[in-house]
Amino acid sequence: MGTKRPRDYTLRDLLNLGGRDLDDLYLEASAPEIERLNGPYDGVLIEGEISGMGRRFPLKEINQPWFPWKGKTFFGSRPGLGNGNNRMEVGSLKRAIWNFQTHLGPSAFGVGEVCHVDYDIPGNPKWMGQSIFDEMKLLHGDLYLGKGGLRALGKDRFVFYWAVDKAR
C-alpha cells in the first residue's frame, strides 16, 4: 500500500486504489462512533466485483464529471443507533433515495466490528432490505470506507467499495 496510512487519504486518493490495497485499508480501518456521524457526506464509488467472475473493476467513471456525488446524510443519531438517508445528488438530479438505520456489529466480510447501514426499515420496499447491504469503517476524521453490494437469491451478486467524507 505504499507509504500512506489510513489517516493520509482523501476521497480523491481512494478513487485511485483498487484490489488488495482496498482490502488492506478496509481491514486496518476501525469501527466508527455512530454518534459522530451527523450531517451530510460527499461520496465516491471506487471498485466493484461481480460474484463468480473473479475480476474487480473500477467504478470511478460513475463519479464523473460531478466529483463527488452526495453520499449519505446522517441525522438523529444516538449511541448505538442512527438514522439517515442515502442520497444521490449528481448534476440536476437531487433526490433522497433510501432511508436507513445504522448500528454497530460484526462485518459481513469478516473484518471486525463495523457500522452497518440497514435498509430493512418501515417505508422502504421489502426487496431493499433483502437485497441491499452496506457497512463502513472509519479511516480518519470524517472519512469512511464502505463496502456493500446487492444480493440476489440469497447470494452476494455484486460487491463494491465506496467512501464518504463530511461535506465541506
Q: What is the CATH number of the domain that holds 38?
A: 2.40.128
Q: Which residues contact 22 (CB under 8 A, 6 or more apart)?
A: 14, 46, 47, 145, 161
Taking the C-alpha atoms of residue 79 and residue 17, their distance in angstroms, rounded to an integer, is: 32
Inter-residue contact 49 to 56 (CB < 8 Å): yes
H or E segment at 12? helix 11-15
- Nine cell digits for residue 146: 464502505
Q: Is residue 124 part of a domain?
A: yes
Kindly indicate the confidence band of residue 89, based on its pLDDT and cuts at 50, 70 and 90.
low
What is the pLDDT, as a whole number, of residue 87? 74
**With 90 as the cut, is the pLDDT of residue 155 above it?**
no
| 26 CB burial (10 A radius; 0-12, 13-18, 19+) | buried
Domain of 49 in residue numbering reads as 6-166
Kindly indicate the confidence band of residue 26, based on its pLDDT and cuts at 50, 70 and 90.
very high
Taking the C-alpha atoms of residue 56 and residue 128, their distance in angstroms, rounded to an integer, is: 24
Q: Is residue 1 part of a domain?
A: no
Q: Is residue 81 part of a domain?
A: yes
* Domains identified in the chain, total number: 1
pTM of the entire structure? 0.85
Specify the length of the chain in residues. 168
What is the pLDDT, as a whole number, of residue 95? 64
